[in-house]
Amino acid sequence: MNYRPSNPRKLNSEDISPLLFEIAQLFTPSTPIRLADLFAGRRRQINQLLEAVAEPGRHAFIYGERGVGKTSLSQILALIVPAGRQHVLHARKACIAADTFETIWLRFFKELRVHQNENGREVTKTLSEVYAGRDLEPDDIVREMRNFSANDIPIFVIDEFNEIRDDGRTAGLLANTMKALSDDGVAATIVIVGVGDSVAQLFAGHASIERCTEEVPMPRMSNDELSEIIDKRLATLGLTIEPDARWKIIILSRGLPTYVHRLGKHAASRAVTNLRRRICEEDVDVGIEEVLHGSFESLRTVYEKAIHSNQPGSLFKEILLACALSSADDTGYFTPAAVLGPFEKIRGRSMTIAQYRNHLAEFTTDKRSAILQRMGQERSYRYRFRDPAMLPYVLMKGITDGMVSEDAKGFLRFPEQGRLFDDMSN
């Protein structure tokens, strides 16, 4: 990567178009990151994956909430394996509901070619042609994996595994395949990526594969990791950012890299359009408006249904904002008690959990778009937003709708505060 000087010349009108184009390329909220030198954070997860690839017969599961960067991590794997003189062969296939063990591997096999002798002459076919019309078994996969040379590092990524809607047969056959590859010490790595809080959610009933797999949980990104996303891109662009503006982007993103990309892109574009190389807080504020009015129709529809009420004085909107401001664990779950502090700040007076407990329950029903999901037993329920992307949306909507006081918004301006509204949940 060619970094620009730290004190570049001032911008002029001729710089705007090329810089805006470059900003759109570097801040990529809709596509997985493919450039390893722009990938931020995830050091622990990267090391776990590299260990799995290095050890013959070992495989990996990458799991976590939507939008935390699982696919991006699996895609840069080919670029970060220290292969030396070896050749990394990386293939990724995203699953759909109708997929089976056979359809997944036949898509991989379309990219693998073999030479066969037919009637005295050599012909080249894809493996998908060789196995056309046949029921694939784990032994078939093992047999073909053995054909890679010692100079190859084959990695097969099965993404969005949670989308498959079969009866568990695919998971069972994949589990048997991974065990067979492990038993034979075959140097081919299968990486399964899916939405879930644990491997058990993706591969229920197949605990026996634990010995040959590396479990790679993907929590929401830390503030330092989110900051790294901003820093790497701005350094490439020759731009800088004020501390308050940086902190506002990080906090509003709530650990989700997609929002750092979206807010960063809009804020950087506004600064450049105004012939400035330094992004200020006002640029981020305008970016919030752009994000809310951008490609979020599905979020907007769910949100409006969740807060709608014909009753005057309904508090669904305020309570949902309080949920977005609540302290949560690494998987996004918060308790009813954690909602109380933010709710009191929003309402401007003392409240009780009893005043919104039923609202939380209703947020888990179709009547309210099932905007929240609940786990645990009564009196120890925990909640989280069903779609993680909804949390920053609700937060930004509350700010633009004037539901958050100026005093509260001040927390966005001081990095030493740690997290937005920390005091509101205490």
Strand partners, 125: 114
In 86-148, where does DSSP find H-type helix?
A: 101-109, 127-130, 138-145
Pair 144, 247 in one domain: no
Pair 320, 359 in one domain: yes
User: Which CATH number covers residue 353?
Assistant: 1.10.10
Pair 94, 113 in one domain: yes
Instruction: Give the pLDDT score at 365.
Output: 97
Pair 135, 53 in one domain: yes
Q: What range defines the domain where residue 252 resides?
A: 13-31+222-292
Strand partners, 155: 90, 189
User: Which among 189, 218, 247 is the end of a domain?
Assistant: 218
pLDDT average per 10 residues of sequence, the chain (426 residues): 56 92 87 69 92 93 91 88 89 95 95 80 86 91 93 95 89 93 93 88 74 91 92 94 93 91 96 96 94 83 94 91 88 92 90 95 96 91 94 92 70 46 44
Distance CA 222, CA 226 (A): 6
Number of domains composing the chain: 3
Lookup: tokens for 119: 């009637």
Pair 319, 388 in one domain: yes
Pair 280, 308 in one domain: no
Assigned domain for 395 exists:
yes
User: Which among 218, 238, 254 is the end of a domain?
Assistant: 218
User: Which CATH number covers residue 228?
Assistant: 1.10.8.60
Assigned domain for 8 exists:
no
Lookup: tokens for 225: 């990791």
**Reported pTM:** 0.84
Query: Residue 345 CB: number of other CB atoms within 10 A?
Result: 20
Pair 193, 319 in one domain: no
Assigned domain for 260 exists:
yes
Pair 197, 281 in one domain: no
Assigned domain for 142 exists:
yes
Assigned domain for 194 exists:
yes
Pair 58, 133 in one domain: yes
Pair 181, 84 in one domain: yes
Assigned domain for 116 exists:
yes
Assigned domain for 37 exists:
no
User: Which CATH number covers residue 74?
Assistant: 3.40.50.300
Contacts of 426 (CB under 8 A, 6+ apart): 341
Distance CA 156, CA 273 (A): 43
Pair 198, 51 in one domain: yes
Pair 138, 118 in one domain: yes
List the beta strands (DSSP E) in 152-258. Answer: 152-159, 189-195, 213-218, 240-241
Assigned domain for 84 exists:
yes
Instruction: Give the pLDDT score at 2.
Output: 47
User: Which among 192, 218, 244 is the end of a domain?
Assistant: 218
* pLDDT per residue as tens digits for the range 372-390: 999 998 888 999 999 999 9
